[in-house]
Amino acid sequence: MSKARYIFRMDDACPWMHHKNWNQLEEIFDQYGIRPIVAIVPSCRDEELLVNSENTSFWTQALAWQKKGWVIALHGFDHVYLGKKCGLVPLNRKTEFAGQPEDVQRKKIRDGWAILKGKQLEPTIWIAPAHTFDRVTLQCLLEETTIRTVSDGLSRTPFKRFGFTWVPQQIWTPRACPSGVWTICLHPNTMGPDMLVCVEAFLKKHHSQVTSIVDLNEVVRSWSLADGLFEKLFLIAKLVKRIASWLKMRGGSH
């Protein structure tokens, strides 16, 4: 059985991000030659992401990431949630896109794309805030951008669906996994020092298995019922974990 391969992804890059955490992760990734996906919010208005003073050199920094092989992703437009639809990936019920009118989605995608392109960035990946987007979102991406890859979905290997290549994103903490392609999604704006230690320890052991999303060589197959089954099992396991955590908390309160 082939070894697992890992992709690192960092969400919520913007001028007001947690500069120290991002810089420390960059040092770690540079040490091991890691080229992550970096999800940039073009016009951030989400107050929860405004964690530091504005870095006026942010766009220069983002361009430097791109020049050394980091993969730029369009991460919504302003990261402000407008509804409670989950869309195509049933992980959350808060959304900037899913269920919104086509004209609203189209303008957000067109304007976000224009902002990144105006900063000389070349976004090649779509990442929706909270994983929530729908078929309308994808149609707008097809018509307004050249993006044809989504970093999302629950599967063990990449697949094609609705005109896009989906590279699944399944875990949020670095850990050893069975064979497949596993995207590890980090949130540097909210992570504590323990996560930085975890990332470095993981890379010391598994850095040879970490790849860039642009270096995936396997033939991307069509979405299948097996992917649907994986998604259902994943969601059931997540629900069981939440219930177990809740029961543990209830037990500790008595």
Return the amino acid letter for 25: L
Residues 234, 165 within the same domain: no
pLDDT tens track for 27-75? 999 999 999 999 999 999 999 999 999 999 999 999 999 999 999 999 9
Residues 147, 238 within the same domain: no
- Whole-model pTM: value is 0.89
Residues 215, 245 within the same domain: no
User: Domain of 39: which CATH number?
Assistant: 3.20.20.370
- Confidence band of 226 (pLDDT split at 50, 70, 90): confident
Q: Is 141 helix (H, G, I), strand (E, B) or coil?
A: helix
The gap between the terminal CA atoms of the chain, to the nearest Å, is 47
Are residues 157 and 5 in contact, defined by beta-carbon separation less than 8 angstroms?
A: no
Residues 229, 212 within the same domain: no
The residue behind tokens 């430097």 is: 64
Complete edge-to-edge strand list for the sheet that includes strand 37-40: 181-186, 5-13, 37-40, 71-74, 125-126, 149-151, 164-167, 159-161, 221-222
**What's the domain count of the chain?**
2
Up-side HSE of residue 41: CA atoms within 13 Å toward CB? 24
Residues 181, 229 within the same domain: no
Q: What is the pLDDT of residue 244?
A: 61
According to DSSP, residue 22 is labeled H
pLDDT tens track for 121-158? 999 999 999 999 999 999 999 999 999 999 999 898 99
Residues 136, 10 within the same domain: yes
- What average pLDDT does the structure give for the chain? 91
Residues 210, 248 within the same domain: no
Q: What is the pLDDT of residue 90?
A: 83
Residues 146, 183 within the same domain: yes
According to DSSP, residue 222 is labeled E
Residues 148, 252 within the same domain: no
Tokens in use for 191? 């992570």
- Confidence band of 224 (pLDDT split at 50, 70, 90): confident
Residues 232, 172 within the same domain: no
Question: What is the C-alpha to C-alpha distance for residues 203 and 212, in angstroms, rounded to an integer?
Answer: 14
Residue 200, Cβ neighbours under 10 Å: how many? 18
Are residues 96 and 132 in contact, defined by beta-carbon separation less than 8 angstroms?
A: yes
- Percent of the chain exceeding pLDDT 70 equals 89
Q: What residue numbers bound the domain in which 36 lies?
A: 5-223
Residues 194, 231 within the same domain: no
Residues 179, 113 within the same domain: yes
